[in-house]
Amino acid sequence: MSDTAGSRSDAVVDQLLLEAELDDDGQLRPALLQLRALGDVTPEPSAGVAALLQRAQAVQAGTPCDAVPSAAVPAPVDELAARRRAKRRVALTALSVAVSLSAGGAVAAASDQGFRDSFNNLHRTVTSFVTGTAPAAPAGNQSEEPAAPVPSVPAVPATVPTAPATAPQPGQPAEAAPSDVPAAPAKGTGESDAPGRQLEVPGAKDLPTAVPEDLTNGVGQQPQVPVPGPSDLHLPETLPAVPLR
């Protein structure tokens, strides 16, 4: 056996030296033979390999396969693929959980009136803080504003005071607002922006138009506030109270 193996090794080494066109000077050849001898030892099979070999012997000997319990043959597992699958599954699960959580949270927040109100309050507080007003001022703004601008309107035309008296009704201010030029921004920005803008330009002439917008936006309590407003037509003297803001 060693003879045939040796002759085959010789043949392989000879062929290699021939291909490389190297003359054999007695140095390289023994080294290559020694290197090749590394592959002569067949390792002892491990448990899994031994089970597979045993099965092979049983099949070759004609014994039915059932003689060797197939359970003895461990199912070879592709660990790398399994690990990749598991990693992908974890990522997918995390992604779907995050998406469903954020969707649920968004729906809950959108459907909750209290949340929207608190958000508006927060926005208002931040706006007032940024513009340098005391945080309590915005709350007072809405109640005072109807009183402040209403007198400013009658100050210019004499017949107007009747108009603010009817303004608190929901129908008329809506019609009057489009006719006024500055009404458009008040519409688009909604209630949250209205106080901020009014704070920035307290004495501007567009204030009266902004105020009816707010009044119509108020749910029902605010229309009652301006009603006494027109009756107190002497309030123009209280205008200096506005800069207190």
Partner 1 sequence: MLDTLAQEETDIFDDAAGTDPAVLFGAAYRSFAGPVQGYLKARGVDDPEAVTQDVFMAFYPKIDGLTGGLQGAKSLIFSIAHARMVDHYRRLERRPQLTPYDPQHDARTTPSAEDHAVELTGGAADMLAGLSEEHQEVLALRVVADLSIEQVAAIMGKSTGAIKQLQRRALQNLKAQTLSRNQANHE
According to the binding rule CB under 8 A, does residue 175 interact with partner 1?
no
Of 78 and 237, CB closest to partner 1:
78
What Cα–Cα distance (Å) separates residue 7 from each residue in 2, 13, 35? 8, 10, 15
Binding status of residue 184 toward partner 1 by CB under 8 A: no
Nearer to partner 1, 41 or 219 (CB): 41
Q: Which of 62, 64, 66, 78 is the binder for partner 1 (CB under 8 A)?
A: 78
Which of 242, 141, 227, 226 lies closest to 192, judged by CA?
141
* Residue 45 backbone dihedrals phi, psi, to 5 degrees: -65, 145
Work out which of 14, 18, 56, 228 binds partner 1, going by CB under 8 A: 56
Residue among 10 and 193 whose Cβ is closer to partner 1: 10
DSSP 67: G
- Asked if 1 interacts with partner 1 (CB under 8 A), we say yes
Residue-wise DSSP of 8-33: HHHHHHHHHHHHTT----SSHHHHHH
Q: How far is the CB of 99 from partner 1 (least distance, A)?
A: 35
Nearest distance from residue 69's CB to partner 1, in Å?
13
Dist CA 177 CA 183 (whole Å): 6
Number of residues located near partner 1, criterion CB under 8 A: 44
Q: Which listed residue (64, 76, 157, 220) binds partner 1 by CB under 8 A? A: 76
Q: How many angstroms separate the CA atoms of 89 and 86, rounded?
A: 5
Q: Which of 10, 14, 18, 37 binds partner 1 (CB under 8 A)?
A: 37
Cβ atoms 155, 237 nearer than 8 A: no
Helices (H), 20-147: 28-36, 47-60, 79-111, 113-130, 137-144
Selected from 10, 28, 161, 239, the binder of partner 1 by CB under 8 A is 28
CB closer to partner 1 out of 39 and 203: 39
Q: Measure the CA–CA gap between 36 and 208, rounded to whole angstroms.
A: 102
Using the Cα atoms of residue 15, residue 20, residue 21 and residue 24 in order, give the sign of their dihedral. Answer: negative
Q: How far is the CB of 20 from partner 1 (least distance, A)?
A: 4
Place of tokens 């003359």: 23
| Residue 97 touches partner 1, criterion: CB under 8 A | no
Kindly state whether residue 18 participates in binding partner 1, applying the rule CB under 8 A: no
Pick from 31, 67, 134, 201: which binds partner 1 (CB under 8 A)?
31
Point out which residues bind partner 1 (CB under 8 A): 1-2, 4-5, 7-8, 12-13, 16-17, 19-22, 27-28, 31-32, 34-46, 48-49, 52-53, 55-57, 59-60, 65, 73, 76, 78
